[in-house]
Structures are given as structure tokens and as C-alpha cells.
Amino acid sequence: MSSFTVPSMATPPSAAASPAWMPYTSMPHISEQRVPMPFTSAMTSECAPSLSTLSKMSRDMRKEIENIFQQAGCSMHAMQIVKRKFQKFVDDIRDELPTNQRSKFEEIEGFTGCTIPYQVNILPPKDHLSKGRVKKIRGHSDKGGSDKKKTEAKKKRKMRRFH
């Protein structure tokens, strides 16, 4: 079994357009991806900055992070440094930001604007209060012709046998 090593390169050469490179070439740039902004119903109009300001700030941060990844390149040591510093950054931010974790029910109630009932009582239909004729749902034994038609059909079959 032989091993094959590829020299590190940022972009594939034009002659090496193999299927192995295709997933990386078809991926959009991080700054081109649309990321939904994390707005909650708790944000009021006076404390919420404008949407364009938030999107510009997030776009700038994404570009800076992408530049850091490009500077790290394919070096394992550099990527470990970036990962360690990024994890420290994430932990610091999580400590500083207030935690307003909402449950799934609270998110749905906030979205719909009404409360979710915890118990639902399903009552049987009241036939005596319904207007008009109440029809019974017929099963396989109820379907078919009337008894009078059935007996007449039997008599006709018997008469045909004798003729």
C-alpha cells in the first residue's frame, strides 16, 4: 500500500480539476452566505439598532474571521492557535451576554401571540342537539340493498334454475 501526499496549496491548479476539489470550489464565500439575524420579541424598537447596521457589523466580522482563516492557511499549528483563541473569545462573550434562554413553548407562544393549552378536553358529539337528520355511518354489513329486494332476487334466481 502506497501513500500519496499532496503539496499544500491554497487553490487547485487549473489542470487538476478533479472531483476531489469540486466540493471546495462550489462552496460560496462566507461573506456571501446569508445568515438570519437573531432578533427576539424581547427587543423593543428603542433598543434595537437598525437592520442595516447589524447586518454591516456581522458582515465585517465574518470578513475578518475569513481573513484569519486564510492567514492560518493549511498549517496545523496555526489552526490550533486560531481554534484556542476563538474558543476563549466565545467563552468570554457567553459570560458577558445575558442568558435569556426560552423554552420551545415560550418561543412558539411568542411567535403566535397566544398561549398553548396544557390540557385539551375532546367531547363526544351530541346527536340530540344537532339540527336535521343524523345519519349513521354505515359499515360493510349495513351497505347493500333492502331486504325486500334481496328476497325478490333470490326468488328470481330459483325460478331461472327450473326453467
pTM: 0.35
Nearest to 39 by CA among 29, 50, 26, 27: 50
Q: Is residue 78 part of a domain?
A: yes
User: What grid cell was written down for 45?
Assistant: 424598537
Q: Is residue 64 part of a domain?
A: yes
Q: Is residue 75 part of a domain?
A: yes
Confidence label for 66 from pLDDT (cuts 50, 70 and 90):
very high
Residues of the domain holding 62 = 29-35+48-97
Give the count of domains, the chain. Answer: 1
Confidence label for 6 from pLDDT (cuts 50, 70 and 90):
very low
Q: Is residue 123 part of a domain?
A: no
Half-sphere exposure of residue 44, counting CA atoms within 13 Å on the CB side? 2
